[in-house]
Every structure is written in structure tokens, then in C-alpha cells.
Structure 1
Amino acid sequence: MPTELNATHDPARRSWVESANADGTDFPIQNLPFGVFDDGKGARGGVALGDQIIDLTALLKAGAISGPAAEAACGDSLLPLFACARQDVSALRAALSDLYRMNGTGDRRSAEAALVPMSDAKLLMPAKPTAFTDFCTSADHILRMAANGGRSPMPAWATLPVAYNGRASSVAVSGTPVVRPVGQVVPPGSSAMAVAAEPMLDFELEFGAWLGGPVNALAETVDMAQAEQILFGCCLVNDWSARAIQFYEMLLGPHLGKSFLTTISPWIVTMEALAPFRVAGRGRTGEEPELPAYLNDPFDRRAGGLNVQITAELDTGNGPYTIVRTNVAELFWTLAQMVTHQASGGAPLEVGDLIATGTVSGAADEARACLVEITKLGKERLVLPDGTERVMLEDGDTLTLRAKAVAEGYVPIGFGPCAGKITPARTAA
């Protein structure tokens, strides 16, 4: 079962770090996401609070925090933290919340000394994923893509969360340049293959989850309750897509069209912090197949989803302009269902695995979460407020994802930006 609500979720709680109380901040004291940063003194673990980073190493050395999770979160990778018992991670969040709340307890002098302005630090990869699996869990995305291609979708989309095993080595942190890949394509207007710079570079607005422990061994499976315990925390994901490369190579599945770069946001928002924002899973209509038994769980039906609003902003030089507004709650499959299905054939999960939802498209036109949906596979042009038009991304464009978890009566929490700027191909045929 997921984390129950506790004092860290109290909407009345405020921090003596004033920026954490500002309207619209991604990082109020109710959030406390984990990341890795470097302010010139070496890479180490930190927690975002307003416009500051809590240096966990400084707090640990000062004796202001203690315990296995505090020690695990101080290094240049959060993998040891992912492996910690959930109650130890919860105890660390509670200690930080109490230390930095208004009228809290603990050593205020050490707490102040441990703050690093976020503007003075470089945010790094929180961990190197042990593996990366990208799912395709939006019914709206699947059905639109099939319709745009003039075909019917394969029936499996309605009975299982479809996925492919991605390239973990090309997952990179927000701000990493998006170098246009070169590959085998059939250029628009041609019928012959050519090796060329990708002419149809696209984004995919996605949501991701990092896995913790305990995980399954080879040939063992994971039920839905176990899946909830394995989910550590969430981030934003942009699975950049080289559409021409992808469309040409799709005999077996995505390969080079997806492996050149996947961008993630640097802060990991824990499942505990997301507890107030749980909502019912999408459910099924009478025209859709019933859930298979191994993916059908009472809690998941009641609260397997997340009310996380996500936007995509495109800046071609005069923006940025919001071109997508969607919500994780609209997905056809939940995070726990993805984890359970991933292990259902006996594949062992590992601490530090990263999963992504696939394109988070919803039913509304503004919830079309990639350019092939927005432009109907190039048949229509996207016209921005300044008159600029796009069919696909061009060199110099910057695409930024942002998100907020929202629920009535609770303080919204965010994820920080997930951004990338398109740069020209290194070589061209």
C-alpha cells in the first residue's frame, strides 16, 4: 500500500526559507525532492526547498540529521537511497521537514549553513539508470497515431501496458543539448532510403518513475501491492523521437529512432510526497476488455493514478509558448500496473530502474503530447502566437516540460523543468 498522509503533507506547514512559501514554487516544504548537485565543491546529494538546495552532507557532518537514508543520500548517486527501506526514507523527509519548518526543532544554525542557492549549483543526473523501459500507456495517443496512419491499432494496447526496452546510457539530465541524429530515413517526398540528418525530430511529453527495493529475483513476479512498494519517486521525461528513423526501422520495434537521447528532470519527487495527489485509475468502459487478474487490484482502481498536470513549452526564439496541457491521470495504465507487467514474465527488476509512461496524451486537442499528434503526422502545421509555424522541431528550438501535482486542500508540488535545445547534426550525408 502507498504512504499514508502525515505531518509532512500538512497544507498549513510553512518554512523559514521564505522562497519555499512563494506562490507557484515547485518546491514548497511539502515536496522535499531528492537530487544531486555540484556547486564547485564536488557532486553530492541534496534536497530542493524553494530556490535553495539543502546540502545533506553538511547536515550529516553537523549531526543535524542521521540514519541510513541520510547517509545513503549524500553521495554523487542516489542509487543507495533507492535501496533504503521506505520507512528510513520517510524518517529522513520528516526530519528535514521539521528542521526547516517555521518554529521547527533542531539546530537552526546548521540548517542555515547547509543551504546552497540553486542558482549557484549545477544539477546533475540523480543516478545512472540500471535499465530504462519506455511504455506506451495513453489510449488517446495510441488511437490517434493509428488513425493518423490510416490503420487500426494492434489489440494488445487494451490488454497490457505496451513497452520497449530503451537505452539507459543515453538518459541525460535537463539542459543536455539535443543533437539532431543522423540515420537511415526516407526523406519527405522521396521513396528511397538515404542516410541523412533526421528531418522529423519530435518530442514526447512523458512521466517517469525510479524504482527502489525490494525487487524480484529471476523468474519471480511482482504483484500490484509489491509494485507500490518498489516505486520510489517520479520525474519528468522527454523521450525525444527521430520519427523518420523510427518509421523506417520499425520491423521489430523502436531502436535508433529513440536511443539518441532521453531527457529527465533532475529532482526526484518521492511517492510519499505524492500521496495527497493519488486519484482513481482510469478504469475501463463496457466496450474495452476487462483488466487481466494480475493487473486488477482494488487499491489501484481506487487510487492508482496521479493528478499531475503537465505542460510543454516551445521556444523558437520569441517564446516560450505553451503547446500542450495534459494530465497523468488520463493514462490508460497506472505506474504500478507497468511495474507488475514488466516483471510478469519473470524478468528481474533492479534498484535504479527507470520506467516512463510513454506520451501522456489526453482526450482534448490541447492534450496531444507530441508533434505527430499535434500536426496529424504533418498534415497540419502548428502555428504559434507570434506567427511562427512548425511541423517538426527545428535547430535552435527549445522544448521545456513542467508539471504540478494538485489536489483540493493541499499545497501543489512541482518537478522542476525538463528542457532541451535542438542543435544541428554533427555530420550529414
Structure 2
Amino acid sequence: MSALNVTHNPARRSWIESANTGDTDFPIQNLPFGAFVREGETRTGVAIGDRIVDLRALHDLALLGGDAALACASACDSTLNTLMALDARHVSALRAALSDLLKHDAPARSRLASSIDAVLPLMTDVELTLPWTIGDYTDFLTSLHHTERHGRYKGLADPLPAAFKSLPIAYHGRASSLRVSGGDVRRPYGQYRDADGNVRFGPAPMLDFELELAAVIGHGNELTRAISIDSAREHVFGYCLLNDWSAKSIQWFEQVLGPFLGKSFHSSVSQWIVTEEALAPFRKAAPQRAAGDPAILPHLHGAHDQRNGGLHLELFAHLSTAAMRSDRLPPAQITHTHLDNLYWTFAQMVAHHTSNGCNLRTGDLLGSGTISGASDESRACLTELSEAGKKPLLLANGETRIELQDGDEIALSARASAPGAVSIGFGECRGRIAPALPYPFDASREEH
């Protein structure tokens, strides 16, 4: 498990001045991993302030040695998968070496500064891209409040599934339609019931966002070999934001075996992976369960996880409509929630996922599910914010929303904070709803 070390020192500052401002997501204590396109070539990098350490350019300078050099060489690909598969000590060594190179009194400061645009390009000068290849995607359902509310909206006699308090419920999502933050989210087609109860096919109404955190698997496990709760977080490389865009009208009509077309049209992840080690100062006890809840079965109960399986992590969603942008109004904060609102920890999700012998692989993505709490402001999707359309969300300019409309843009963000630690962020996870294409749309036909 990650322990505090010199990279977490709150007194450490960087010679990259933008990393020392109090509002940056990427101080020297963070150093998240990502990827970018520069002059047509995809490279991996590490965020520091408003710049990116180009890991291939850094490797070419031969400033690193030992495990750090090995890790940096492994990251010189177009994705982070090779790096993520390494033992944690290699990634930790690279993080420590980067921290030493970027600290304000680093001996190599002048050498790096003299070629700063080559080794540390500005984020605004490059295009951020999906930093790793995602093989499998599992989305969990771990907020009691989100689950119970949706059960009520559907008119279920028991809004909370019987298994919810015994295991982390999940479904297998679609990895091929995961996309990095930014760009359009195309309104999908599908079948749904209209207001009169008739089944229709067309552009989906009731389009929604869902604010989630996701774990990215580093090294996996062999088929038939379960991961113990005590070692589960050793298999997590890091975390990113996830927007599990949902066509609720399609989902609620089609869902028998689980979500399908109502979810598989698009999911967005943030551009940076914040490592497990970077989050060490923000660890806290797992959220307490209510009196009378079932006891956690032994394979999901770890003493270490109960002591520090939670995180001091606040999460936010902002909405910007086309009219707001036209009038130059700032986005409206519509959600402010906390990771405490999850009933299960990520270690429990990993342990449960593999408890039947299922093998996780490097790059697999595990979503937390919508992180909704009990309060109104902590409702983490528009369906909950509008009580399934009964109370439209009122925006400051007079617009209302019960569903996302074309041109609406959602931006997710998160902030880890704790006494005595430098606060770190995750960047943003952004997407704008684009109108449905004419149906059917077959790109191959347009080429002939």
C-alpha cells in the first residue's frame, strides 16, 4: 500500500511556477500520467502546472537511473499500458525522480529549462488524448442513495435490490465507446416508451450525465486466482473521472439483463490518471454503515481497507447551456458530492470482481457508479436533480432542465484535500451533447 514519502511533502515547490498556485490541479505533489499528440505523434507524459513532462524526451536526456529509468523507458510508447503493468516500485521510483527533477532547487533545473518547450510543452500547445488502451470496462452501482432513488422512480416495491448491502453490484460495459474528455457526445437512437406508453424508436429523450470516479487496473490477476481484499489496491494504478452518459428512456425500457444501448453509445473519462500513490495523503476510513446493516462477509472485509479505504475527495458537476454561453454566463454548479457517498470501497469492488476467479487485466476500467448522496446538492445526475422530471432544475438564467438538451455541456471535476496536505485535482471530464445524426447513418455509403 502507498505510504507517505518526500513526494508528498507540502513544503516542496516546483521551478515550474504554474505548479505553485493554490488553485492548480497539478502541483508537484500530484504528477498524474496522461498522453498527448504533438506534431502528429502520440506521446505519454506527466502533468505539472500548465505543462507536460514529455517522457520520451526526458528519457532521451538520460537523467534517470535504476527503476526510474526502466519505468520511463516503459512509458515511451503511445500508451501507458506497459508502464501500468510494472511493479509499483518502478512507478514509485519514476514519480520520485520526477519530483526531484521538478523541485525548485533541482540540480538539473537549468538543463531542463534550456529545452523547456521540447521536454515540457505547454498543455495548450498539444492535444490531450486517451492515455491507455482499455480492454474491459465494468461499472458498479455503489451509491445507496442513487440506487434507492432510481428504484422509487421506477415504482419498485423494494427500491433497494436485496443484494445491494451484501456485495458491490455491477454490469459489464462497453469499452469500445469510451472516449477521452472533450468533443461531442452524439445523441443516440433507441427504443423507448413515450408519454402515452407507446414504444417508439428515434433520437433518445431523457439523456443524462452520471458523475463517477473510476479505478484503472495496473497489473491484473491470473484466471481462477482471486485478489484478496488486503492486496486489492496494489492492483490499482490510479484513478480518473468518469461520465457514464445515459439515455435513461432507452435504459429503463430495455433493461432486463442489465444496461445495454442506453449506456453503450458513449462514456467519457478525464485526461489524467492520478496515481494511487499521489492519493496517499487523502486516505481515510471507509464510510461507516448504518446500524442493522448486514455484516461484511470476510472476503470483502479487510482491516486495512476499513481503516483507509476511503478518500477525502469532493466531486463537482457544472452545466453550461447554449444560451448561457451565448450570453457569456458562467457554467452552473449543479452537483457537489463526496466519495463518502459510496457504500463500497474500490478495494471491495476489485475483490468482489475477482472473487469468482475472473481475471482483471492491465488497463481495465472499474467505475464507481453515480456518486449521489442524501442532500439535494449531492445528487449526481439530472434524473435525481429533477426527481425524474417532477421538479425541473431551475438555472440562473431562467432555463429549466429535466433532461440534457442538444448543446448542453457537462464538465466534471474533483478535488482531494486534507489537513496538512497540498490539495490535488483530476483535471476535467467534459462533453457537449450533439444532435442525433439522420438515421440510418452509414459512413461507408458516403464514401461511394
User: Is TM > 0.5 for Structure 1 vs Structure 2?
Assistant: yes
What is the Cα deviation at residue 329 of structure 1? Answer: 2.4
Q: What aligned pairs does 1:60-209 form with structure 2 within 5 A after superposition? A: 60-66=59-65, 67-106=69-108, 108-110=110-112, 113=115, 114-151=119-156, 152=158, 153-187=160-194, 189-209=195-215
Distance 2:28 2:138 in 1: 31
Q: 1:377 aligns with which of 380, 388, 400?
A: 388
What is the Cα deviation at residue 110 of structure 1? Answer: 2.9
Residues 157 and 403 of structure 1: CA distance in aligned 2, closer, same or farther (over 3 Å): same
Aligned residues with identical type, % of pairs: 46
* 1:20 partner letter: A
What is the Cα deviation at residue 41 of structure 1? Answer: 5.0
* Residue 339 of structure 2 corresponds to residue 339 of structure 1: no
Distance 1:154 1:402 in 2: 30
TM-score (structure 2 length as normaliser): 0.93
Residues 270 and 14 of structure 1: CA distance in aligned 2, closer, same or farther (over 3 Å): same
Q: 1:401 aligns with which of 403, 412, 415?
A: 412
Q: Secondary structure at the match of 1:209?
A: strand
**Equivalent position of 2:225 in the other structure:** 220
Q: Secondary structure at the match of 2:356?
A: coil
| Superposition RMSD in Å | 1.2
Q: Secondary structure at the match of 2:98?
A: helix
Distance 2:395 2:163 in 1: 36
Q: Contact (CA 8 Å) 2:102, 2:109: kept in 1 or not?
A: no
Q: Secondary structure at the match of 2:415?
A: strand
Q: Secondary structure at the match of 2:73?
A: helix
**Equivalent position of 2:48 in the other structure:** 49
Distance 1:303 1:329 in 2: 12
* 2:154 partner letter: G
Distance 2:202 2:333 in 1: 30
Distance 2:347 2:287 in 1: 13
* 2:14 partner letter: S
Equivalent residue pairs, number: 426
* Residue 364 of structure 2 corresponds to residue 350 of structure 1: no
**Equivalent position of 1:14 in the other structure:** 13
Q: Contact (CA 8 Å) 2:216, 2:238: kept in 1 or not?
A: yes
Distance 1:410 1:89 in 2: 21
TM-score (structure 1 length as normaliser): 0.97
Q: What does the per-residue CA deviation read over 1:122-154, in whole Å, with 9 as the maximum and x for residues that have no partner? A: 000011211000001111111121223332121
Deviant stretches of 4+, over 6 Å: none
Q: What does the per-residue CA deviation read over 1:287-336, in whole Å, with 9 as the maximum and x for residues that have no partner? A: 21111111001111110011111100000031300000001122100011
What is the Cα deviation at residue 363 of structure 1? Answer: 1.8
**Equivalent position of 1:302 in the other structure:** 307
Residues 112 and 8 of structure 1: CA distance in aligned 2, closer, same or farther (over 3 Å): farther
Q: Contact (CA 8 Å) 2:15, 2:109: kept in 1 or not?
A: no
Distance 2:24 2:232 in 1: 30
* 1:203 partner letter: F
Distance 2:282 2:340 in 1: 10
Distance 2:94 2:48 in 1: 14
Unaligned runs of 5+ in 2: 325-329, 441-448
Q: Contact (CA 8 Å) 1:99, 1:108: kept in 2 or not?
A: no
Q: Secondary structure at the match of 2:107?
A: coil
Distance 1:118 1:89 in 2: 23
Residues 155-164 or 144-153, more deviating: 144-153
Distance 1:419 1:41 in 2: 23
Residues 240-249 or 215-224, more deviating: 215-224
Distance 2:70 2:87 in 1: 9
What is the Cα deviation at residue 89 of structure 1? Answer: 0.3
**Equivalent position of 1:32 in the other structure:** 31
**Equivalent position of 1:362 in the other structure:** 373
What is the Cα deviation at residue 286 of structure 1? Answer: 1.7
Distance 2:258 2:155 in 1: 19
Distance 1:393 1:331 in 2: 25
* 1:70 partner letter: C
* 1:90 partner letter: S
What is the Cα deviation at residue 107 of structure 1? Answer: 5.4
